[in-house]
A = this chain, B = another copy of it.
Amino acid sequence: MDRLSLQDPVFATYAIAASLMILKAVAMSWLTVVRMMQEKGGYRSPEDLRKTPLNPQPDPRQLEPNERVERIRRIQMNDLENLPFFLVAGFLYVLTGPSLLLAQVLLYGYVGSRLLHFAAYFTAQTHDVRATLWTLGSLILIFMTIRTLLAALGV
């Protein structure tokens, strides 16, 4: 069977993990929008102070950083530092022909670590909790990438 087919169980595992991570990343943009609407602030562009249907009562303070909005932006920034690399690393790792079980442990383990990282960051858990969850995902990413590198080098 074609290795890059959604019918292939290992590739389907990757596609499911990748889709969940893409939806997670997109959700951060929408969550930023929701928070900006709740706070009526945390905007960034001068033109956002114009009077429009979405902003009927502009106020210069709307351009000041708003911690409830900034928290989501920090979470999103952490996604941008991690998810694009996971999406490519996971794809290449699947081409090394891992067992289905190992692929599931690594790919779904990564997804789980990122969802828990989000929960910890969103609810302002202690730095050490957040760091532990980030480290778990990062180690999975490094493992998959080194495995791919060795396979491509023919080692």
Cα-based distance from A39 to B49 in the complex (angstroms)? 24
What are some 11 contacts across the A-B interface (CB < 8 A)? A6-B148, A15-B151, A16-B153, A18-B88, A26-B85, A45-B74, A46-B67, A47-B124, A54-B127, A55-B127, A84-B85
Cα-based distance from A151 to B16 in the complex (angstroms)? 9
B127 touches A23 (CB 8 A): no
Indicate the size class of the contact surface on chain A. 35 or more
Interface residues in A139-155 by Cβ distance below 8 A to B read 141-142, 145-146, 148-149, 151-154
- Shortest beta-carbon distance, A18 to chain B, in Å? 6
B126 touches A15 (CB 8 A): no
User: Hey, what's the 0/1 contact readout for A120-146 against B, CB within 8 Å counting as 1?
Assistant: 010011111001001000100110011
Cα-based distance from A154 to B16 in the complex (angstroms)? 10
Residues of B near A61 (CB, < 8 A) are none
Cα-based distance from A56 to B144 in the complex (angstroms)? 34
CB-nearest residue of chain B relative to A44?
B74
Residues of B near A4 (CB, < 8 A) are 3-4, 95
